[in-house]
Amino acid sequence: MKNLLSLFLLVISLQQVSAQRPDVSARCKQEMKKLVYMAGDWKGEANIRDQSGVLKVAQTEHIEFKLDSLVLNIEGIGREGEKITFHALANINYDVTTQAFQFRSYVKEGFSTNAYFKILEENKFEWGFDIPSGGKSRYTIILNPSTKTWKEVGEYSRDGQQWYNFIEMNLTKI
């Protein structure tokens, strides 16, 4: 009986705490509207450069809003023939506390990262992160609604000054 009473009091106190939190969803949704053209299905090609040369993959991106438009889910898959060579998931949301977008990504090899995400101008974005073993990675996305295209360039830098292109992705909205 004592445990049941304790549990009841805990539930009541948690409800009171959550009732005191303001609803900031309208502000978050307003910021997320800036990403609305990303939503949909995209298809095209990605060229990935490494020490062995250039790998061309057929790339698709499936992007949709979730949680009443508070989160943008992105799933990207790159294929070389039938073989999946790239598979990633990402979530973007707006955090009113930091007044910035948050970008969390996951790849099939088991790695994940918290990245920055910035709007440079309408339909132009940059996201990136520090690489734990050293260096930085950044990606620039340019969306063109009139041609229904998505161009993304990924770059690497050891020092944050000199950048090297390692991926270019060109997609069309389908």
The domain 25-173 having CATH identifier 2.40.128.20: the answer here is: yes
pLDDT, average across residues 44-71: 96
Which ranges of the chain would DSSP assign to H, the alpha helix?
A: 2-20, 25-32
pLDDT digits (tens, 9 = 90+) for 126-167: 999 999 999 999 999 999 999 999 999 999 999 999 999 999
Task: Label residue 50 by pLDDT band (50, 70, 90).
Answer: confident
Q: pTM, whole model, 2 decimals?
A: 0.84
Question: Long-range contact list for 105-109, CB < 8 A, 24+ apart?
Answer: 108/84
Q: Where are the domains of the chain?
A: 25-173
> In this predicted structure, what is the pLDDT of residue 74?
98
pLDDT, average across residues 61-76: 98
> In this predicted structure, what is the pLDDT of residue 6?
65
